[in-house]
Amino acid sequence: MTRPTKLTAPRRKAIVALVRAGHSMASAASYTGINISTLNEWFRRGEGTDGARRPAKVYAAFAAEITEAREYLEGMLLASIVTAAVGHTDKDGDFDVEPDWRAAMKLLEKLYPRKYGGAPMRTEEEMLAAARRVAAEHGTDVPPEAIVRRAMEIAAAAEEGEVG
């Protein structure tokens, strides 16, 4: 007979609420009295990626709720950053949140790192040398030149906003 799970309905609701409010998984585990490895196992079992234990419906529902909570938080944080960047006006058209160029710049850096990130761009020769090192270490049938060409295509598409 299997032992009952510690993922009770009240604990599950508390964990999801904590993650939705911005807590890390480790923090949510600590607040609810479980070990982070247990929480991670539940999540992996829910996703079906825990090779040691088989999936169960209760864990699948839990993983889906955690994923939704993270997506909700991400949306709220992004909305907050966008509001800080562009400001917000009240019904009379007056700013109740003044635009902040620093928030706008940070958003540009994250959305378009090659253009606004300030990180030095790698030359094609540097990328090719790195691809050759990786190919030599790990072995691959794909020529390093093809890897670099495809990486540059992906980067260019990302720059244009064509890749998520």
Identify the three-state secondary structure at position 96: strand
In whole angstroms, give the CA distance from residue 9 to residue 62. Answer: 10
Instruction: Tell me: pLDDT of 83 over 60.
Output: yes
Q: List, for residues 18-74, the tens digit of each pLDDT value.
A: 999 999 999 999 999 999 999 999 999 898 887 777 778 899 999 999 999 999 999
Instruction: Tell me the one-letter amino acid at 65.
Output: E
Of all residues in the chain, the percent with pLDDT exceeding 70 is: 93
Write out pLDDT tens, residues 90-115: 898 888 888 888 888 888 888 887 77
Distance CA 36, CA 93 (A): 48
Tokens of 84: 């800080």
pTM of the model: 0.63
One-letter amino acid of 48: G
Q: Give whichever of 86-100, 124-138, 142-156 has the largest mean pLDDT.
A: 86-100
Q: Is the dihedral of CA 131, 132, 138, 141 positive or negative?
A: positive
Alpha-carbon torsion, ordered 104, 105, 110, 111, to 10 deg: 60
CA atoms within 13 A on the CB side of 114: 12
CB contact at 8 A, 40 and 25: yes
Question: Tokens at residue 126, please?
Answer: 């540097």
Structure tokens at 62: 């839990």
Structure tokens at 160: 């244009």
